[in-house]
Amino acid sequence: MGEPWLKQHCIVVIGGTSGMGLSAAKAFITEGARVVVTGPDVVSTNEAQTILGPSAKAMVADARKEGTAEEAIGVCRESFGAFHGLYHVAGGSGRKLGDGPLHEMTTEGWAQTLDWNLSSTMLSNRAAIRSWLDRKESGSILNMGTALAEHPAPTFFATHAYAAAKSAVVGFSKSVAAYYAQHNIRVNVVAPGLTDTPMAKRAVNDPEIMAFVKSKQRLDGGRSASPSDLDGAAVFLLSPSASFITGQVLCVDGGWGIVSEGQIST
């Protein structure tokens, strides 16, 4: 067996105490990394600390607030001696906030959904970039996108503010990647399809929606993704093996983006 992919790497996961973020943090540790994870509440943060063990520091923090990422990066440097990578996972559907089809969307829902998904990404990325520039260090950022940004599914997933925010994450990431490539700082995006996380329970528990998802995400018999399905992509893109990759979007969507809506299996 070769060396672990992330040996001696120190990574901050914003939104790393549950779902895709927690799964990735476990994978990072397995591959030799030490991690700092942030989450919005005490219960999930304590649970994450127990699960991740001594190679991790879990902290309660709101990804939408200025200073959160700076604090997490500071904890990473103080606890583990370095900071090599940022994985921004925090965000999610704004349906409960007032997002939805445009004619039903509230102004508050629009603002809060963009704040949760896009502004939080800007804040964490800015903190990482500043930290590396101040020390003349290289680094790698991985941001969270979605298949819905490029491949809408209006029948069941009409949350227009969320789609706008995640589309903006892609444009933002590419722009930042282009500007900071000269500093050997990489920025990429991973774009999942429907993934079985606490935030996806509306869809996962609805037989009609899941029948649709299985017709779109056809790999492995047709199913929703598990958080662990994204781990390999995250490990790779934050590792030295991806050192010549920046400004890219890697879709981990089970085929969502290449199967037309309503297409019937034959």
The pLDDT of residue 116 is: 97
pLDDT tens, 131-178? 999 999 999 999 999 999 999 999 999 999 999 999 999 999 999 999
* Average pLDDT value for the chain: 95
C-alpha span between 136 and 129 (Å, rounded): 10
- The total number of structural domains that make up the chain: 1
Kindly state whether residue 111 falls inside one of the protein's structural domains: yes
* Cα–Cα–Cα angle for 177, 181, 185, rounded to 5 degrees: 80
Kindly state whether residue 211 falls inside one of the protein's structural domains: no
CATH of the domain at 166: 3.40.50.720
Q: Which of 158, 2, 141, 136 is nearest to 69 (CA)?
A: 141
The pLDDT of residue 2 is: 78
Question: Is the per-residue pLDDT at 264 higher than 80?
Answer: no
> 215 Cβ partners below 8 Å, 6+ apart?
222, 259, 262, 263, 264, 265
Q: How confident is the model at residue 265 (pLDDT cuts 50, 70, 90)?
A: very low
Tokens of 52: 């991740």
Kindly state whether residue 110 falls inside one of the protein's structural domains: yes
pLDDT tens, 118-138? 999 999 999 999 999 999 999
Kindly state whether residue 155 falls inside one of the protein's structural domains: yes
Using DSSP's 3-state secondary structure scheme, residue 96 falls into helix
Say if residues 232 and 30 touch (Cβ distance below 8 Å).
no
Domain that holds residue 246: 10-196+226-254
Kindly state whether residue 126 falls inside one of the protein's structural domains: yes
The pLDDT of residue 199 is: 78
Residues catalogued as catalytic: 162
Tokens of 154: 């209006």
pLDDT tens, 68-90? 999 999 999 999 999 999 999 99
The pTM of this model reads: 0.95
- Report CA 172 to chain centroid distance, whole Å: 14
pLDDT tens, 88-106? 999 999 999 999 999 999 9
- Report CA 175 to chain centroid distance, whole Å: 18
- The percent of residues in the chain predicted with pLDDT above 90, rounded, is 93
C-alpha distance from residue 36 to each of 52, 73, 76, 122, 142 (Å): 10, 8, 6, 19, 15
